[in-house]
Amino acid sequence: MAKTKVKEKKVKVTWKEIKKQKFLVIGTLFLVAYGILFYYWPLTGWIMAFENYKPKSGILGSKFVGLDKFRFLFGDDVFIKAVRNTFAMGVINIVTTTFMAVLTAVLLNEVKRAWIKKPIQTISYLPHFLSWIVVTGILHDSLSASGIVNDLLLRFGFVNQAINFFAFPKYFWWIVAFAQNWKETGWNAIIYLAAITAIDPALYEAASIDGADRLQKIRYITLPGIKPTFLVLLLMNVGNVLNAGFEVQYLLGNGLVQSVSQTIDIYVLKWGISQNDYSLGTAAGLFKSLVSIALVVIANAFARKYTEERLF
């Protein structure tokens, strides 16, 4: 039954069929209209990046200036720094969160007793559900002069004086990475744990009989077992490298660390919304979108060539 179904799967587009699927077709029309309005139509706004857009004259009436806005962008030191910061924090975040998620999942899997494992897991997802406002607020308190971090550093004599962590550019990227890991490690580990559970237990039994110890089993069974999951998530994350920068940086950044905290999104917000230079904001946003798309396509091509995994 199931097999014959697959063969007759190709249904021809005929009026009769459309009538039969009336509900689905009408639903599709609504959903496509919604998608065009909120996702595809705004893409026409990219034209603004090549104009000196004035809200009064509209997209069609504004003056066309070619690549002027992009020339300004790439001549602007602040923008170049914003691109660098976005990339750097994006890469640091992906590498550290992936590492921590895999490590946590592998170690949690070693805990066989449910009454220990379950509570740890429950605690580990909790921060994922807190807002960035709450997380950065808490982090601010922990890293403040009277916070726990300085308290411990002073107590154990690592420093003589409380460090103002938010005043030095050299700490900023790592504070962001820590915040990201604090919030998402437990959550990200869920998927890896699921992948580990799917590994055939017979493999572990066979390895035990051959005298493998726990580390060897992790190295030769667990890690290869989660490789496909790892690659799919990595692929998805590559396209998101440039998206790794808005809320945390906006909330934790301050005048002293501006040179390392400002990301492309914050740049867009500052120029586009606060300064009302819609064209420049759009140009910076367009640059980000294009680079993101290029990264996804490249990552996917790599995956196609070297592994079995791909996104599309």
Partner 1 sequence: MNVDANHKVREPIRDKIFFVFTVIFLAVFVIITLYPVVNTVALSFNDGIDAVRGGIYLWPRKFSMKNYKTVLDMQNIWVGARITVLRTLIATLTSLFANAILAFIVSRKRFLFKSQLSLFWVITMYVNAGLIPIFLLYKNLGLTGTFHVYWIPGMISAFNMLVMRTYMEGIPDSLEESAQLDGAGYWTVFKDIVSPLCKPVYATVALFIAVWQWNSWFDAMLYNRMKTEYTTLQYELMKLLSSVMQQSGSAENAKNGAATITPITIRAAATVATMLPIIMLYPFLQRYFVTGLTIGSVKE
Verify binding: residue 245, partner 1, rule CB under 8 A: no
Verify binding: residue 68, partner 1, rule CB under 8 A: no
Binding mask 120-159 for partner 1 (x = CB under 8 A): x-xxxxxx-xxxxxx-xxxxxxx-x-x-x--x--------
* Residues within window 251-270 making contact with partner 1, judged by CB under 8 A: 251, 265, 268-269
Verify binding: residue 28, partner 1, rule CB under 8 A: yes
Binding mask 160-189 for partner 1 (x = CB under 8 A): ----------------------x--xx---
Size of the site for partner 1 (CB under 8 A): 97
* Beta carbon nearer to partner 1, 89 or 221: 221
Q: Which two tokens stand for residue 49?
A: 């990046």
Q: Choose the binding region for partner 1 from 67-75, 78-86, 168-176, 200-208 (rule: CB under 8 A).
A: 200-208
58: left (phi over 0), alpha (psi -120 to 50) or beta: left
Task: State the residue for tokens 């806005």.
Answer: 69
Minimal distance, residue 180 CB to partner 1, in Å: 14
Selected from 41, 74, 158, 220, the binder of partner 1 by CB under 8 A is 41
Selected from 33, 67, 95, 111, the binder of partner 1 by CB under 8 A is 111
Q: Which of 176, 180, 177, 184 is nearest to 104 (CA)?
A: 184
For 44, other C-beta atoms within 10 Å of its C-beta total 9
Verify binding: residue 294, partner 1, rule CB under 8 A: no
Q: Which two tokens stand for residue 180?
A: 């990201």
* Beta carbon nearer to partner 1, 243 or 259: 243
* Beta carbon nearer to partner 1, 196 or 260: 196
Verify binding: residue 60, partner 1, rule CB under 8 A: no
Minimal distance, residue 94 CB to partner 1, in Å: 16
Instruction: Kindly write down the DSSP assignment for every residue of the chain, as one continuous string.
Output: -HHHHHHTT-----HHHHHHTHHHHHHHHHHHHHHIIIIIGGGGGGGGGGEE--TTTHHHHSEE-TTHHHHHHHH-HHHHHHHHHHHHHHHHHHHHHHHHHHHHHHHHHH---HHHHHHHHHHHHGGGGS-HHHHHHHHHHHHSTTSHHHHHHHHTTS-SS---GGG-HHHHHHHHHHHHHHHHHHHHHHHHHHHHHTS-HHHHHHHHHTT--HHHHIIIIIHHHHHHHHHHHHHHHHTTGGGS-SHHHHHH--GGGHHHH--HHHHHIIIIIIS--HHHHHHHHHHHHHHHHHHHHHHHHHHHHHSS----
Verify binding: residue 48, partner 1, rule CB under 8 A: yes
Minimal distance, residue 82 CB to partner 1, in Å: 14
Verify binding: residue 104, partner 1, rule CB under 8 A: yes
Verify binding: residue 95, partner 1, rule CB under 8 A: no
* Residues within window 69-88 making contact with partner 1, judged by CB under 8 A: none
* Beta carbon nearer to partner 1, 89 or 296: 296
* Residues within window 212-231 making contact with partner 1, judged by CB under 8 A: 213-215, 229
Selected from 95, 273, 298, 301, the binder of partner 1 by CB under 8 A is 273
